[in-house]
A and B are shown apart, each in its own frame.
Chain A
Amino acid sequence: MATATPIKDQITPGIDDVVADALKHGNANGGKDHTMVLNMGPQHPSTHGVLRLVIEIDGETVVALAPDIGYLHTGIEKTCEAKFFQQVVPLTDRIDYLSPMTNNLCYCLAVEKLLGLEIPERAQYMRVLLNELTRISSHLVWLGTHAMDIGALTVFLYCWREREDISRIYENVSGQRMMSSYFRIGGLSLEPPLDFFKQVQDFLNKMPAAIDQYENLLTGNPIWMSRLKGVGYLSAEDAIALGVTGPPLRASGVDWDLRRDMPYSGYEKFKFDVPVSTDGDVWARYVVRIQEMRESVKICQQALDGMPSGPIVADAPKIILPNREQMKTQMESLIHHFKIVTEGFAVPAGEVFQAVESPRGEMGYYVVSDGTAKPFRVHMRNPSFATLQALETMCKGRLIADVVSVIGSIDIVLGEIDR
């Protein structure tokens, strides 16, 4: 067991530090142990978006590494402050675009906590079901792109085959394949269509065999094993010190999952295992995520079997839009509809921090209200943003080719890093 790195060495350096370090190496010892600065990205196929890495290399060994982010900064937090509370929901999809439902859920839970709303059980089960489908969908993108970075192109195509099924489920339930915005403050936007449950059941029936197929292609593959095993080691102490959450944290041996340890949205009613590994390398992260997909299938099945009947929105007519029929036939509903659409609804003053377990780790929404209909501040704590800080610790002293493997294993989404 390795001891924790001293705090001074854990801190990710800036670009200037990396360049200065290279110059120092170049001048020392008559220039014999000079190093080189390599600029990787922002347009590089293995950086999963627009991530720029400034890497100091000695031969092929990484000496120092500094991530440069902000290429995708769109100011979503600022935009949120100019919208009504209910208008923020579609913005949250665009933060982590690979897991839109998780973002919707986290924001809705935060505002519901501010309002003190009780969510009906059917809506909670639907939220859990769709969240776990989102987790599978997001992990499929990770697996496909991670394998493609390392050179196994076939897996990518198989992963997209199953992801297509989930996109169709999304489209059926919300009308959109990616930016679903299906959850609403207080419940769901629509009752799920009639064939929805059969469609999900068909998917769940074939998913375990599909995961076996991916494992068949990768798990015993000698090239895959030699590129993953022992690469990008991160100890449990370093992971906690650097803010790493989700599968990379569990792969480092910390048994922590918000769904089990601090349940939200009715997760306490579901039975599932939390996969943990103590190896702390890229291989461990691969194993943990594959196991997580299998557990997600189990949770989806439980949600489907136990799906209660009843309303899909909370009983709060001043916050939740009435349905079309009520609006056309009842005067009071028409008034509520008009008020909500034109002037929003006031949320009692206060601040809440709501965290959920997203496919990438702990996603938290910090929502502050000053008692008006627009949020005073919406801040997102995004897992990728923190995990990126651990990149240097994982890559230092390793080969440059391993950097690609490590980036794939921490599964970053630049949309949520830059916001």
Chain B
Amino acid sequence: MYEPASKISGTEAVFAHLMANEYEHPAVAAFKTLATDAKFDRAELTITVAAENIVAAAEAAKAAGYNFLEDVTCLDWYPSEPRFRVTYHILSHKLKSRLRLGVELGSDAASLDSITGVWPSANFYEREVFDLFGVHFNGHPNLVRIMMPEDWNGHPLRKDYPVEGYR
């Protein structure tokens, strides 16, 4: 069974754990200055960065060998603040490992820069997050709804949106 004590949190502790091997872990070198928080839980590495640094973080991850953007999605922690957490899952074909980038956004500033300039595949994922959560991506080439009809009101995956919809 899962042991909560096995979770490592905090940037310094996680980076120290990753550096325990002889070689320098590529993620540590890339995120030394960018990371605001980090977590190593269930053998998965999560690094949190500030919203304004997301494009720099994506470029740093790409330069470190994490070459394949797998997924972009969002969590809504309503009613607590910061409300949204946009997560990026990035895979490295060379290192055979995965990295999760997280960005926390308050409900009054639910916008961040688009990473379509780094990975064109972010296009549909970011449109999906915009459609279902209402998070804006600045600089996205075509930020329109993708799943819901264009004239739909509200963002269905927000926690304050009822499961059965508004009747």
* A79/B163 in contact, CB under 8 A: yes
Set A352, A377, A386: member contacting B42, Cβ < 8 A: A352
- Write the chain B residue with the least CB distance to A261: B96
* B119/A243 in contact, CB under 8 A: yes
A79-B163, A348-B4 as given contacts; A353 in contact with B98, CB under 8 Å: yes
Instruction: Kindly supply a per-residue 1/0 record for chain A positions 365-381, scoring 1 wherever the CB is within 8 Å of any chain B CB and 0 otherwise.
Output: 01010000000110101
How far, in angstroms, from A353 to B41 measured CA to CA in the complex?
Answer: 11
Segment among B11-19, B21-29, B51-59, B143-151 that sits at the interface with chain A: B143-151
Number of interface residues of A (CB under 8 A): 51
* B121/A241 in contact, CB under 8 A: yes
How far, in angstroms, from A196 to B163 measured CA to CA in the complex?
Answer: 40
- In the assembled complex, which residues on chain B have CB atoms less than 8 Å from the CB atom of A262? 96
How far, in angstroms, from A114 to B91 measured CA to CA in the complex?
Answer: 20
- In the assembled complex, which residues on chain A have CB atoms less than 8 Å from the CB atom of B96? 261-262
* B87/A366 in contact, CB under 8 A: yes
Smallest CB–CB gap between B10 and chain A, Å? 16
Q: How many A-B residue pairs have CB under 8 A?
A: 117
Segment among B30-38, B70-78, B105-113 that sits at the interface with chain A: B70-78
Set B4, B41, B71: member contacting A379, Cβ < 8 A: B71
Segment among A9-17, A99-107, A336-344 that sits at the interface with chain B: A9-17
Does chain A have a CB within 8 A of B79?
A: no
Does chain B have a CB within 8 A of A192?
A: no
Number of interface residues of B (CB under 8 A): 44
A7-B117, A114-B42 as given contacts; A78 in contact with B100, CB under 8 Å: no
Does chain B have a CB within 8 A of A117?
A: yes
* B147/A70 in contact, CB under 8 A: yes
How far, in angstroms, from A385 to B2 measured CA to CA in the complex?
Answer: 32
* B124/A12 in contact, CB under 8 A: yes
Smallest CB–CB gap between B7 and chain A, Å? 7
A13-B142, A70-B146, A389-B124 as given contacts; A348 in contact with B2, CB under 8 Å: yes
- Write the chain A residue with the least CB distance to B72: A381
- Write the chain A residue with the least CB distance to B121: A243
Does chain B have a CB within 8 A of A402?
A: no
* B148/A388 in contact, CB under 8 A: no
* B7/A362 in contact, CB under 8 A: no
Q: Which 5 A-B pairs have the closest CB atoms?
A: A243-B121, A116-B2, A14-B142, A381-B71, A10-B120
Q: Give A contacts to B, CB under 8 Å.
A: 7, 10-14, 16-17, 69-70, 73, 75, 77-79, 81-82, 113-117, 240-243, 254, 256, 261-262, 316, 348, 350-353, 355, 362, 364, 366, 368, 376-377, 379, 381, 385-386, 388-389, 418-419
